[in-house]
Structures are given as structure tokens and as C-alpha cells.
């Protein structure tokens, strides 16, 4: 074909080429830290994005209900499980250059692809409602009404997408993610019992007492706070959108592990805040639903720690609005087989952007309904994720073991063993809570 007949490169092609050119020169010149800076993003955003509103409320609720004990090391353990799952997402995306939903459709058929996408959209809508709950609780501390939370969240989602550039969207999200550390600062200012905190990590605490159903709820909610369907869709698709290749796997693993370490540390901070409240607050879980955790913390430790906690809840909800809305757009775009990238214009990726902003719009409208049980939604959003997660994990495991797709980058035996354990534990925790709740509802067992 003569040069005059070559197809003209679109601005999307040029943008992606520019991103990869910077990676190439950083790698060639041996600038390791610059290379990591260029490739960091999907892993950190998946992990810290999962430190969202319902997750941090769930961690704080566990601290209020049971103190330091069992749940503090359990948070760290669940993020270890998240590393196993998310490393597979990153690797599959970098090797195949295809999103999770797209690969499921190509390898296992349209029915399973749409089933996974439908699961995700349902879970995401409930979770996005919970993100607006976090924004509402955080802004209510500053005496701002619910409609301000809705407008703020929607404006943020729209602003982050306005540049039609993945790199710009990712850097905005990473800037927000840095403020997740406010939970750790708030925990330090709250004056926790450092002896009890350290003891929780070095001694094997038994399952906590109290209501068995509440304990199962918080276990399932904690698992759903660290490993969720949206993370699978998001990280694999973001890895593709970023243009990562098998040469970037080392940096991709560093990105994922770093995100998990930071998220676990900040999540433990939220639980410690709850544990501090446990020693001063007479109410249980529902006792904090009205005033919210920031107001309760202000009564115990003063305004500074409470203000940081409120700002942390705003950040947690805001960042998750970006990442979870993005995963919705990715999933629907992949299921429909249309353009699904932040590098495309609104005209060329209409379904992607409509689903992205539309999911946030629907969720924002829900929290304006009078009498909505906000804390219940926040806790059960994670439980729903736990119940629906095993199917997504099984397909991810099959994709990561597909020789025709992955070649020499398939799972190792150790990775497979660890992933199977994660699938089994997630499935059992969701099933246990569901069965116990059914038995209680039907009065076949006592509370």
C-alpha cells in the first residue's frame, strides 16, 4: 500500500503512542522511578478506591462493635487476598490487551459475558448509592445538605471525564487517593490504645462474641470491602486503557502491592477510630446512623480528628464514584462491543460515557429519597459484592490459566492454590450470612 493510502491516525492513537513513548524512553534510559511513576495507577486506584465510603464505614462499625481484636488483622489478611486477585487482573490485561468483560464474551459466550456485566451493574448501582451516603455523612458534618453531596459527586465525575484522556482522569483520581491517608491521621489523633492495637496483630484473637448474625454481616462486609467485582473489571480495563504490556508486569505488580499496603494501613485507621468510639460511646451500630461517625468522634476527641474523618469520608466516596462509575462504563462498553476508553471522545464512545455518568446520576437520586436507611445500605453494599464475587473470580481464574491467551504468563501452581482458597472463603462467607439471615427471618433459629 502506498504511503498516501495509509489510514490517518486519530488523536486517540497519537495519545496512546505519546504515553508509550514516555515509557520507552524512561525504560531505555534506566530511570526506574520515572518508569514506575508513568506506570503506576490501576493497582493503586483499585485498592484505595476500594477503601470507599461503605468500606470505611464498615471498618469503623467493626471497631465500634468489637474493638481492636479480630477485625484489625483480618483487614490486612483480606488485602492480601486482594493482591492475589488484582495481580491476575493486571497480568491478564497487560498480556491480552482486552478487558475482563470482553474476554469473558470472547472465550465463554455472550450469555456469560452479559451475566457478569449485569451482576456488576447491579452491584455498582447499590455501591454508588453508598458512596453518596459517605459524601452525605462527610458533608453533613460541615452542615451541608444532601443535595450538595449529590451535585458535588456528579460534578466531579463529569469534570474528570471532560478531557477525554485516560492519563488526565487517572492523575485526578490519584490526587484524590492521597487523601485516604486522612483516616490514619484521624486514628492517631483520636488517641487509641497502642498496646491493644499491637496485641491484635501479634496474638490470634478468636471470633468475637455478641450477635452471630451481626458478626457474619461484618465479616462478609469486610471481605466485600477489599475484594469486589468492580475491582476486577476496573483494573483489567484500566490496564488496557493505560496501554500496559508484558514488559510492564514488574511495575504493575509493584503498583498493585503498593496500593494494597496503603489501603490496608488506611483501612486499619478507620477501624481504630471505631475502636476508640467503642470505649466512649454507649450506642451500637445503629446508634451512630443518625449523627454519623464524625459527629460521634468530635464528642469524644475534639474537632480536629472529627474534621479529618469527615474529610476522609468525602474523599472515600469521591474517589470511589470515579473508579466504580468507570468500571460500569468499561463493563457495558465491553458487553456491547463498542469503544470504551477515556481516550475516546464523547461522540466515539457515547455508551461508555453515558453509563459512566448515568450510574452516578441514578445513585445520587436515591439518597435524596426521604427515610432511606443510609447505614444499612452502606454495610449491605459490601455484602452484596461478597455474594456476587465468586462467579467473577472463577472466570478470572480460568482466563489467567488459559494457555492460548496467556502463553508463558499463565498462573503458577502457587497462585492457583491461593486463588482457589480466596474463592472458597469468599463463597462461604457470603453463603453463611445469607443462610443465617434467612433462618432468622423465617424464625427457624433464634437471634
Contact at 8 Å (CB) between 116 and 104?
yes
Range of 109's domain? 40-441
* 244 in any annotated domain: yes
Dist. CA 445–CA 447, nearest whole Å: 7
Residue 22 placed within a domain: no
- Per-residue pLDDT at 288: 44
Share of the chain above pLDDT 90, in %: 37
Does residue 160 sit within a domain? yes
pLDDT at 226 over 80: no
Q: Is the pLDDT of residue 438 over 50?
A: no
Q: Could you tell me the maximum CA-CA distance found in the chain, to the nearest angstrom?
A: 80
Is residue 421 one of the residues assigned to a domain?
yes
CB of 297 closer than 8 Å to CB of 186: yes
Please determine, for residue 183, whether its predicted confidence score (pLDDT) is greater than 90.
yes
Confidence class for position 379, pLDDT limits 50, 70, 90: low
Q: What is the DSSP letter of 210?
A: S
Quick one: what percent of the chain has pLDDT higher than 70?
Answer: 83
pLDDT score recorded for residue 205: 63
Considering the domain boundaries, does residue 130 fall inside one? yes
Q: C-alpha cell of 271?
A: 477501624
* Residue-wise pLDDT tens digits, 334-354: 988 888 888 888 888 899 999
Whether 21 is in a domain gets the answer no
Phi/psi region, residue 166 (left: phi>0; alpha: psi -120 to 50; beta: rest), is alpha
Distance CA 410, CA 91 (A): 9
Name the band, by pLDDT with cuts 50, 70 and 90, for residue 443.
very low
User: Exposed/middle/buried for 278, CB within 10 Å: 0-12, 13-18, 19+?
Assistant: middle
**Residue 2 corresponds to which cell in the numbers above?**
502506498
Give a yes or no: residue 436 inside a domain: yes
Provide the mean pLDDT of the chain. 83
Q: What angle do CA 237, 242, 248 make, to 5 degrees?
A: 100
Q: Cβ distance 229 to 392 under 8 Å?
A: yes
Domains in the chain: how many in total?
1
**Is pLDDT at 63 greater than 50 in this prediction?**
yes
CATH number, position 198: 1.20.1740.10
Please report the pLDDT score of residue 122 as a whole number: 84
Q: How sure is the predictor about 252, in pLDDT bands with cuts at 50, 70 and 90?
A: very high
Amino acid at each position: 500500500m502506498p504511503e498516501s493510502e495509509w489510514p490517518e491516525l486519530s488523536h486517540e492513537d497519537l495519545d496512546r503512542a505519546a504515553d508509550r513513548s514516555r515509557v520507552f524512553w524512561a525504560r531505555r534510559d534506566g530511570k526506574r522511578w520515572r518508569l514506575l511513576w508513568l506506570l503506576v495507577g490501576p493497582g493503586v486506584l483499585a485498592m484505595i478506591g476500594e477503601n470507599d465510603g461503605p468500606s470505611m464505614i464498615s471498618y469503623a462499625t467493626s471497631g465500634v462493635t468489637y474493638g481492636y481484636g479480630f477485625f484489625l488483622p483480618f483487614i490486612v489478611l483480606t488485602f492480601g487476598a486482594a493482591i492475589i486477585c488484582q495481580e491476575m487482573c493486571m497480568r491478564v490485561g497487560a498480556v491480552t490487551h482486552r478487558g475482563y468483560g470482553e474476554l469473558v464474551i470472547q472465550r465463554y459466550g455472550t450469555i456469560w459475558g452479559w451475566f457478569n456485566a449485569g451482576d456488576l451493574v447491579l452491584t455498582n448501582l447499590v455501591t454508588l448509592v453508598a458512596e453518596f451516603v459517605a459524601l452525605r455523612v462527610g458533608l453533613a458534618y460541615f452542615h451541608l445538605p444532601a443535595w450538595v453531596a449529590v451535585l458535588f459527586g456528579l460534578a466531579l465525575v463529569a469534570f474528570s471525564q471532560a478531557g477525554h484522556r485516560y492519563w488526565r482522569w487517572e492523575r485526578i483520581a490519584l490526587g484524590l487517593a492521597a487523601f485516604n491517608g486522612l483516616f490514619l491521621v484521624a486514628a492517631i489523633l483520636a488517641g487509641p490504645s497502642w498496646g491493644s492495637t499491637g496485641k491484635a496483630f501479634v496474638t490470634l484473637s478468636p471470633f468475637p462474641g455478641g450477635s452471630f448474625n451481626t458478626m457474619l454481616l461484618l465479616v462478609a462486609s469486610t471481605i466485600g470491602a477489599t475484594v469486589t467485582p468492580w475491582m476486577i473489571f476496573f483494573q483489567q480495563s484500566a490496564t488496557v486503557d493505560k496501554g500496559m504490556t508484558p514488559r510492564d508486569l514488574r511495575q504493575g505488580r509493584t503498583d498493585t502491592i503498593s496500593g494494597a499496603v496503603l489501603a490496608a494501613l488506611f483501612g486499619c485507621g478507620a477501624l481504630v477510630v471505631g475502636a476508640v468510639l467503642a470505649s466512649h460511646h454507649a450506642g451500637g451500630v445503629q446508634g451512630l446512623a443518625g449523627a454519623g461517625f464524625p459527629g460521634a468522634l468530635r464528642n469524644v476527641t475534639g474537632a480536629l480528628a472529627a474534621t479529618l474523618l469527615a474529610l476522609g469520608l468525602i474523599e472515600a466516596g469521591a474517589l470511589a464514584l470515579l473508579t466504580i462509575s468507570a468500571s460500569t462504563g468499561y463493563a457495558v462498553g465491553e458487553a456491547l462491543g463498542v469503544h470504551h476508553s477515556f481516550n475516546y471522545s464523547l461522540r466515539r464512545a457515547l455508551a461508555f460515557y453515558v453509563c459512566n455518568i448515568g450510574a452516578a446520576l441514578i445513585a445520587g437520586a436515591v439518597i435524596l429519597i426521604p427515610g432511606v436507611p443510609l447505614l444499612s445500605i452502606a454495610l449491605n453494599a459490601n455484602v452484596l459484592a461478597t455474594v456476587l464475587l465468586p462467579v467473577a473470580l472463577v472466570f478470572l481464574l480460568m482466563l489467567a490459566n488459559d494457555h492460548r491467551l496467556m502463553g508463558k504468563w499463565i498462573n503458577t501452581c502457587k497462585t492457583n492454590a491461593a486463588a482457589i482458597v480466596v474463592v472458597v472463603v469468599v463463597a462461604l462467607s457470603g453463603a453463611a450470612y445469607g443462610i443465617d439471615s434467612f433462618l432468622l427471618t423465617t424464625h427457624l433459629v433464634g437471634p
